[in-house]
């Protein structure tokens, strides 16, 4: 089993994934885009902006250096907003070893090309094995150990099961899939559907309209 994991992105979902990995016994390097944010997380041991009241264990190291974040890491999670996935992947590429697995946990499409994010990452980091992670998962609930499920989709079942073993625990259930396109598009499009459902409710329509 691997020992060190890098999480690129320290928003609510990135921090929640870092907490989950720490609870699984891994050393986690959590990368922040802003140096001040990395320093604040290190000093406070808490993401007060996104996950207030949940303390970061000592096994989570916060840094603003991509090189430092992925050094000696055996697995990388990309959890940046979809609008910044392309630029982040391009900056990350030179630090990624051949065959390293990158798990894309961001939801959405690349805003300029409308590509799936795994395709965008694969173009920027062709030496990596890109995996998709998606599912109904509010960050604050994962951080508080509430039962949650996600899906890991990869090119092969072996890779999918490898990431599944890293994440699976008593409150976080992970399913495996080979349907990267379906899982990734499902994660992106569900937000559009949710917005439309909310608009339908706001207009006072019923279940038939929403369905």
- Active site (annotated) includes residue 190: yes
Distance (Å, rounded) from C-alpha 46 to C-alpha 99? 33
CB 24, CB 169: distance < 8 Å: yes
- Residue entry with tokens 């630090």: 95
Q: Point out the catalytic residue in the list 4, 23, 123, 190.
A: 190
| Percentages (nearest 5) of helix, strand, coil residues in the chain | 45, 20, 35
131 and 156 Cβ atoms separated by less than 8 Å = no
**Dihedral angle of Cα 21, 43, 53, 136, to the nearest 10 degrees:** -40
Residues involved in catalysis: 190
């Amino acid at each position: 089993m691997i020992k060190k994991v890098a999480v690129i992105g320290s928003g609510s979902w990135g921090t929640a994934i870092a907490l989950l990995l720490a609870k699984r016994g891994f050393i986690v390097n959590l990368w922040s885009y802003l140096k001040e944010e990395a320093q604040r997380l290190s000093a406070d041991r808490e993401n007060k902006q996104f996950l207030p009241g949940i303390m970061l264990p000592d096994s989570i190291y916060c840094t603003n250096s991509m090189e430092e974040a992925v050094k000696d890491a055996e697995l990388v999670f990309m959890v940046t907003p979809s609008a910044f996935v392309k630029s982040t992947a391009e900056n990350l590429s030179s630090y990624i070893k051949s065959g390293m697995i990158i798990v894309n946990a961001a939801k959405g499409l690349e805003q300029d090309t409308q590509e799936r994010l795994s395709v965008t990452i694969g173009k920027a980091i062709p030496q990596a094995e890109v995996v998709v992670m998606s599912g109904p998962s509010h960050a604050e609930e994962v951080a508080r150990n509430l039962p949650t499920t996600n899906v890991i989709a990869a090119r092969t079942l072996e890779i999918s099961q490898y990431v599944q073993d890293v994440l699976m625990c008593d409150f976080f259930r992970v399913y495996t899939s080979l349907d990267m396109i379906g899982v990734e598009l499902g994660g992106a499009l569900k937000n559009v559907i949710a917005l439309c459902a909310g608009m339908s409710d706001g207009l006072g329509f019923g279940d038939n309209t929403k369905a």
